[in-house]
Structure 1
Amino acid sequence: MERVQRRFTTMLPGLENGSYEASPPLEPETGESEQQRYREEISKLKMMNGELAQELYELSKEHRRKEMELEATQSRLTELLERLGKMEEARQELATRVAVLEEANWTVKEEYDTLHILYREQWQQLRTHELEVSKRIHDLLHLKAQEAQELNYKIEKPRRYPLVESGKGTRGPSQRDGMAEVEWRNQEKDLATVSSVPISNRTETMARRPANPPDGAGQEEGRSFKSSWIRSSSFSLVDQSRLKQSFRNFFRMRSSASCSEINVSSSVFCSMSRLPATVRHCMTVHDGEVNAVKFSPNSKILATGGSDRKVKLWDVVGGSLLNLKTLEGSNDGVTSIEFDPSGFQLLAGSYDNSARLWNLKDCELKHTLSGHSAKVTAAKFKFSLREAVTGSYDGMLKIWDLNKPACVKSLCSPSRCSDVVCSDCFIISGHFDRKIRLWDSRSGVQTDMIALQEKVTSLDINQDRTQLLSCSRDDQLSVLDMRMNKIRQELRAEGFKCGADWTKAIFSPDGNYIAAGSADGVLHVWDVLTGDVVALLRGEHRSSINAVSWSLSGDYLVTVDRTKVANLWSDY
């Protein structure tokens, strides 16, 4: 409106003072041109008046529209203010609930922390108690072995006197030593048949034993006493195999490094694995990168395989590694090593697309298993000892009859195989396509498949065949429940990095721990129960750790790396 008025007053200056005086009537003598000018001015004023009226109408219309929009906006603002009030009330209620929940959560967290501390203390007490029990059992076995040796020596004494005092004269020192050695071996054989010796039975039997048996009745009485002592034995502390092994270790003389005398006796069963703490021995074991390492079932022999095409056998003596023998015959680098459960055979996979079987009694190459079209990454025995399984980069898994030798079955997968674990009834393979495949070894049919986030580098299975361990290139270890075929636990650690496509991770012999080497040369050990890292150990490694092996006795752990170095770890 102000704009219209401004335009009107500009053209009619008389309106500025609020008055307008009409033009006086023209005199007759006014010229015709002057009248024409007034008529034109009046015409312009009428035209402007019409324009101003039209503009005033439009502005009025715009004003009414703006007023309606303002009313709508005010109404919307009122609604929003009402909603804001309600939301503020809801926010206050939620804030109150959050405060209550935070208080409850804090209380639960305090209870959890208290229980966790109590759990860790009890778990530590349990571990300490188990160590004490293990040490006492070891001491008891040593004491029993000494007492059994002394007892058998006294029992055999009446049998030796007639030999010494017979009419042929007295034997010389060398003859006596030879007889002592024969009798020593006989005693070892007799003691090997003893399954157990209870303290109560031993005490009662010692009490019934005559102090000085007469020479005439010594032989028969000694034999009857010895047989009754053996028959009455029953042991509840440890199993028969461990007792036998302890007796063997007590009587065993350390052999020389000749292959025919390599000790590949029966397996040792671990009661509890010891956490590694220090490097007992560090040495260069191959002329190239070390890809595989494995302890024998009796934990006395260590085998290593490297890119120098050799498999080397090492004797573990007093925390050191002594080279026993080098097994030759591979045409390319060794990728995997496996002892059979008896300890008398060794199977190794190779980059030359084959696997080889050595007999450790004479250290001679027994068979070459060839048939793959790419390098063999895994070669494992089945429990039957007559069959083996190999996995390769060609995606094939082959089952071999070691008596012929020949491939009896081939299992085809769509991806490269990195590792294999097996028994008589099943085969489990890890692949580069991020899959773990389960096979029925009798029918050759794939029964299940488990997907991971990255390609699998290794597999391992615990002693009771209930848990499977996998290592993958996403720097993660997965523990799978074999009864459900599902991932039960995922293990990670700050700084742990899987260094290669063939990096190995393993269970401890008792299944309580998991060990794996990182790309920076650090050994990581996890507790299976809690999933926590219980040890971070840096030895003499300066490059990626390729493989780890834990002795079945639980005493030693060996790590090998890319720079030809092996570290022997123990708990002291």
Structure 2
Amino acid sequence: MKESETKNVWKAHVICQLRRRDREQHHNFRELVHAYSRLLERSGVADAILAAAGRRSDSPPSLCGVRLKRNSAELAYQAVEKQQILESQEMALEAQRERLALEERRRAEARHARRQLRLGAERQASENGRLKGLYDALMERRRLAERLLRQEEVRGGGLLDDLVSLKRHAAARLNRRNDRRASFQDVHLLKDLQTAATSKVNVESSVSFPHRTCSTLKKRTCEKSPGRLSRSVSAPESSPKILASFREFFERRRGQSSRAWADDDEKEEEPARPFRIPTAARLPARALHVLEAHEQDGNTVAFCSSSALLASGGTDRVVKIWEVQAGTLRHRTTLDGSTGGLTCVQFDPAGHRILAGSYDKSALLWCLDRPVAKLTLTGHGRKVTAARFSRHQVLTASADGSLRMWDPQRAACVHLARVASCCSDAVCLENVAISGHFDHYIRFWDSRLSGCVHRVSAGGKVTSLDLSADGRHLLSCCRDDVLRLLDLRRWSEHSAAFRAEGFKCTSDSAKVAVSPDARYVAAGSTDGAVYVWNVSAGTLEARLGDKHSAPISAVCWSTSGEYVASVDKKGRAVLWSDI
């Protein structure tokens, strides 16, 4: 009994606590209780609990109520937990909605920015189209201006030739007029002499002053007074001397006139001065003169046939001419007109003209007394890597693999040859053109470029070629850092190779040189030094350094064998010799 009473008391206490909590939270969970009651009604849980309690007859009615309340409390806890989970999920959903709204705003901003960018791109495209139209118009005007300039240059050259021809014709006409005048005077003089032969004259005055004698004779023949013509010496004895003196006088006048016009013709067409190749070239040992030749990279350098002038070119688009005087370089003139950097320069055999190749796909020809280009040869698809004089024509080579032979009088291409490999350099012999290519071959062409008559393996990518003065040896430089000297008389691939420790080819267009007597070869290196090899011994003779502060791009030997010139990537030029 006591135990059952104790249990009932505990249960009653729990029920009281639950009722108190229910009363406290009734207001807060009213809606939840109603929802829970509706849930119980729908599920029939309460009926099932009551039925189960009725079937258990041994359980008192109060215990069934307690169980029902306990189950209700548990269900209420579960409902609260579910409500909390629902609230947390609703909060998460709300956060998701806020994030979604933020993303929507960002998306709208992105769409707006995209529209703005698209409009800007359209405006930029239209502006680019307008600028492209202006650029095309300017290029067309430039081409038209260049074409007009070439026409005017051709016209100016024609006018100059016409002027020279007119001067020659005028000189010829003047000479003929003088001859006719002299003949006319001779005829009159003979008549006067024949008239005077029957009279007496003063021999001394006639011999000493022939021009006065003529006028005196004319006066005396016109005069009718016989007393004034009487002299002590007869005329037949002196007439041969008088005639000889007059003839000598007129011949002297005619000779002065013809010589004057002959001197003018000689000035207009002065022949090239011959020069002598020395028996032995000098081995350069020290720098004679160092100067900053160009504002940008120096690419090429060349001597004239007399070794009195030096030409240099670079990426600053000008050719500078230097006078070589006692081991020093003095600036003489600057030749401009190129729209791109210069790759090569060469003097003509007479030393009056300069030929240069350019990055603007053209070759230019200057006269030394005119700073503006006289002729521009265009037609290559890429930069012109070589430009050489070949008799009365001009040979050019390009990185597009083509070689062109030009007639400078017409500025027209007369022969064309193409190779699939880039042409880096070309030289000319009397009837042969030689070209070096990136496909490791040196090709020989006939003078009309009608076909490749022979080819030799170079051993590497060819950067430059150079001929000895007698045309018997060909020097080539390759990217494998080896110089090779080929004997052209044998037409074989056997060649002497020159290499040295520390020597490295500067670039794909590095220029090398062979001495005029083919005793030495010289090349510039990336370390700023000039390397000189002895051909017969095959050994390195000299290493000239400490003057260049950048890789050397070109080296050339003077035709007299006295000087070596070099130019580097910073535009510095150095003159070397053993003096």
Match of residue 563 from structure 2: 556
For the 8 Å contact 1:264–1:301, the answer to whether it is kept is no
For the 8 Å contact 1:279–1:539, the answer to whether it is kept is no
| 3-state SS, counterpart of residue 496 of structure 1 | coil
> What is the distance in 1 between the residues matched to 2:298 and 2:272?
23
Superposition deviation, residue 559 in structure 1: 0.6
Match of residue 527 from structure 1: 534
For the 8 Å contact 2:355–2:387, the answer to whether it is kept is yes
Aligned AA (2:351): G
Superposition deviation, residue 453 in structure 1: 2.7
Q: Does 1:469 align with 2:475?
A: yes
Match of residue 569 from structure 1: 576
Question: Pick from 320, 326, 339: which aligns with 1:331?
Answer: 339
Superposition deviation, residue 268 in structure 1: 4.3
Question: Pick from 476, 483, 486: which aligns with 1:480?
Answer: 486
Deviates more, 1:482-491 or 1:285-294: 482-491
Deviates more, 1:434-443 or 1:524-533: 434-443
Q: Deviations over 1:158-201 (max 9, x none)?
A: xxxxxxxxxxxxxxxxxxxxxxxxxxxxxxxxxxxxxxxxxxxx
Q: Does 1:354 align with 2:362?
A: yes
Match of residue 508 from structure 1: 515
| 3-state SS, counterpart of residue 506 of structure 1 | strand
CA 1:372 to 1:461, structure 2 compared with 1: closer, same or farther past 3 Å? same
TM normalised by structure 2 equals 0.52
CA 1:406 to 1:540, structure 2 compared with 1: closer, same or farther past 3 Å? same
> What is the distance in 1 between the residues matched to 2:303 and 2:451?
32
| 3-state SS, counterpart of residue 366 of structure 2 | strand
Match of residue 53 from structure 1: none
The 5 A counterparts of 1:56-455 are 265-382=273-390, 384=391, 386-442=392-448, 444-455=450-461
How many residue pairs match? The answer is 311
Question: Where in structure 2 are there 5+ consecutive unaligned residues?
Answer: 1-267
| 3-state SS, counterpart of residue 374 of structure 2 | strand
For the 8 Å contact 1:267–1:342, the answer to whether it is kept is no
For the 8 Å contact 2:284–2:576, the answer to whether it is kept is yes
Superposition deviation, residue 518 in structure 1: 0.9
Aligned AA (1:320): T
Superposition deviation, residue 449 in structure 1: 1.3
Superposition deviation, residue 484 in structure 1: 2.5
RMSD: 2.0
For the 8 Å contact 2:384–2:396, the answer to whether it is kept is yes
> What is the distance in 1 between the residues matched to 2:484 and 2:278?
24
> What is the distance in 2 between the residues matched to 1:282 and 1:264?
30
> What is the distance in 2 between the residues matched to 1:424 and 1:547?
25
Match of residue 31 from structure 1: none
Bigger-Rg structure (1/2): 2
Superposition deviation, residue 269 in structure 1: 2.4
For the 8 Å contact 2:289–2:327, the answer to whether it is kept is yes
For the 8 Å contact 2:272–2:349, the answer to whether it is kept is no
For the 8 Å contact 2:555–2:565, the answer to whether it is kept is yes
> What is the distance in 1 between the residues matched to 2:473 and 2:348?
21
> What is the distance in 2 between the residues matched to 1:454 and 1:512?
24
Q: Deviations over 1:404-453 (max 9, x none)?
A: 11100111111100000112311110011111111112352101111233
For the 8 Å contact 1:434–1:451, the answer to whether it is kept is yes
Superposition deviation, residue 539 in structure 1: 3.6
> What is the distance in 2 between the residues matched to 1:271 and 1:452?
29
For the 8 Å contact 1:391–1:417, the answer to whether it is kept is yes
Superposition deviation, residue 550 in structure 1: 1.2
For the 8 Å contact 1:431–1:455, the answer to whether it is kept is yes
Superposition deviation, residue 361 in structure 1: 3.9
